[in-house]
Amino acid sequence: MNLSETAFITRINPSDSFTTENVNPTLVFETKSGDLSVTQKEEGYIMDFPLNPPTRVDPNDFKDTIKAAVGNLPVQEVLFCYNTKKLLIRLADSCDISALTDLKVDTVALENTERSGRFCAVIITMKGSPDCQPRYDFYSRDFSPWFGVPEDPVTGSNHTILGSYWSEKLGKKKMLAYQCSSRGGELELELRDDGRINIAGQAITILQGTIKL
């Protein structure tokens, strides 16, 4: 379906059974980041992720990448998530949301700034404006040309980093985020006391079928 995610269904245990009779069924996916559970809630889904706090770094260590990503826009802070190998660039609070939504990133030039495998994606984020409706706590965009994804439309795993970062900055455990790619997507975040984060979003059914195991 022209998406960057792929899932395979398999019967892990011979005695496993599959049913759609549960009111709120939970599916568990085995991923490289560990088990990922997804629970249906009304017209949306809640994903259970581990938190991935980023670490503040010296912008000079990534100056070519930052320049390719945001040009001359003012940058407030640069961080790196060592668990996921993603670079996080926070635009200055003086920037209007249009600075992020209208940003044209040359992903070929961005990819050429880093060939050593230090990181796999660049996340650009900025604080939400209280004057906008709905009141998003923060915005973001994701660029992963190193993995053949010029721009990811909505990235759940990024919000394990963004949720951790913005929760500390805003002093909030529940946040509403918006990834402002051309397709765009709204995410509801809730940090839990066990060091994990719930990421929820709306979904619609676009394909139905039968899988025989």
Do the Cβ atoms of 125 and 95 come closer than 8 Å?
no
| Spans of the chain, pLDDT less than 50 | none
List the beta bridge partners of residue 75. 91
Q: How far apart are alpha carbons 109 and 5 in whole angstroms? A: 25
The pLDDT of residue 76 is 97
Please state, in angstroms and as integers, the Cα–Cα distance from residue 141 to each residue in 122, 150, 179, 181, 199, following that order: 8, 11, 6, 6, 17
Domains and CATH numbers, the chain: 51-202 (3.10.310.10)
In DSSP notation, 29-56 reads EEETTEEEEEEEETTEEEEEEE----EE
Contact residues for 146 (Cβ-Cβ < 8 A; gap 6+):
111, 114, 117, 119, 120, 121
The pLDDT of residue 115 is 87
Q: How far apart are alpha carbons 205 and 93 in whole angstroms? A: 37
Among 76, 142, 158, 72, residue whose Cα is nearest residue 107: 142
The pLDDT of residue 205 is 76
Q: How far apart are alpha carbons 22 and 31 in whole angstroms? A: 24
The pLDDT of residue 202 is 83
- Respond yes or no on whether the N-terminal peptide bond of residue 134 is cis (omega within 30° of 0): yes
The pLDDT of residue 6 is 66
Percent of the chain with pLDDT over 90: 64
Q: How far apart are alpha carbons 92 and 94 in whole angstroms? A: 5
Residues designated catalytic: 5
- Computed over every residue of the chain, the mean pLDDT equals 88
Pairing relation of β-strands 174-179 and 138-144?
parallel
Do the Cβ atoms of 187 and 178 come closer than 8 Å?
yes
Do the Cβ atoms of 29 and 7 come closer than 8 Å?
yes
| pLDDT digits 0-9 by tens, 37-96 | 888 887 788 999 999 999 999 999 999 999 999 999 999 999 999 999 999 999 999 999
